Amino acid sequence: MKKVPTSRVDKLLGSMGYGSRTEIARLGKVGGIVLDGADLTDVSKRIPVTPDLPSRMEIDGEPLDPVPGLVILLNKPLGMTCSHKEDGALVYDVLPERWRRRDPAVSTIGRLDKQTSGLLLLTDDGDLLHRVISPKKHVAKVYRATLARPLVGTEGPLFEQGGLVLEGEDKPLAPAHLEVLSPTEARLTVTEGRYHMVRRMFAAVGNHVEALHRERLGGLTLRDDLPPGEWRLLDQAEIDAIFGGS
C-alpha cells in the first residue's frame, strides 16, 4: 500500500500558494484554518496529506485547494499558449491565481500549439508527466485535422507504414493511423509528441492544416460537457485511463 505523506500545515499551505509561513501562522491564530470542524491554530502540526483534505479543511471559509498530485483536464481554446512565461493569453490563466505559486508547479503534459484546441492535461506530478510523454509508453494522441486541400488517398498508407522523415529531422516517424472523415477532414492517431508534428506530417504530403483539435489522449476522450476554456480535475480511474485504450 502507498504510504500516506504527512506535512506540517504551514509547509503544506505555503507550497500550495496560500502565503508565507508567517502569513499562514497569522491566519491560523485568527481562526482562518479549520480542520474537521475545529480551528487549527498550531500550524506546526503535522497532518496526513490525503486527497480528501479539501472536504475536511477550510481556509478563510473556503474548501482547501486540491492537494499536490493533481491532474487537470482542460479543453484548450484557440489562442492560448502552453508556456509559463510568454506574452499573451496562457493556458495557466484559466486556473485560480493562487495556483501559480504552487510548488511543485502545475505544468502542461506536453504542449498544444497556440492555434490547436482540445484535450490538454496539466499536473504537478513530475513522474506522471514523464510517463505520459515518454515515447516508450506509446500513449495515443488523436487529432482531428481540417485541411486546406483534399486528401489524395496516399496519405493513410504512407503514415501507417511509418518511416516518414519530417523536414529538419533525421529520425523517422513511428507508424500513425489516418481515418478519412471527408475530403478535407481526417482523424490522425499518433504515439509521438514531436514539435508541430501533425502540421508537419501534412506539410510533408503537400497539404496544410487549417484547424487542429485534440480529441483523445490514451483512454481519455474530451466530451461535449466540457466547453472550450473549462477544466476539471481527474479522478484516479481517469488518470489510470490515460495509459489504457491506446
Where in the sequence numbering do the catalytic residues fall? 113
Looking at the Cβ atoms of 72 and 212, the one nearer to ligand URA is 212
Please report whether residue 187 would count as binding ligand URA according to CB under 6 A: no
**Quick one: which segment of 16-24, 57-65, 162-170, 191-199 binds ligand URA (CB under 6 A)?**
191-199
Residue 188 touches ligand URA, criterion: CB under 6 A? no
Q: Which stretch binds ligand URA (CB under 6 A): 5-13, 130-138, 194-202, 226-234?
A: 194-202
For position 198 contacting ligand URA by CB under 6 A, the verdict is yes
Distance (Å, whole) CA 10 – CA 28? 9
Span interacting with ligand URA, options 2-10, 12-20, 197-205, 216-224, rule CB under 6 A: 197-205
Q: Kindly identify the residues of this chain, within the stretch 104-123, that bind ligand URA according to CB under 6 A.
A: 112-113, 116
C-alpha cell at 123: 499536473
Nearest approach, Cβ of 94 to ligand URA (angstroms)?
Answer: 17
Residue closer to ligand URA by CB (options 107, 116) is 116
Residue 137 touching ligand URA (CB under 6 A): no
Candidate residues 102, 144, 199, 213; the one interacting with ligand URA per rule CB under 6 A: 199
Residue 197 engages ligand URA in binding (rule: CB under 6 A) = yes
Exposure pattern of 103-134 as b/e (b: 16+ CB <10 Å)? Answer: eeebbbbbbbbbebbbbbbbbbbeebbeebee
* Residue closer to ligand URA, measured from CB, 24 or 212: 212
- Footprint on this chain of ligand URA (rule: CB under 6 A): 112-113, 116, 196-199, 212
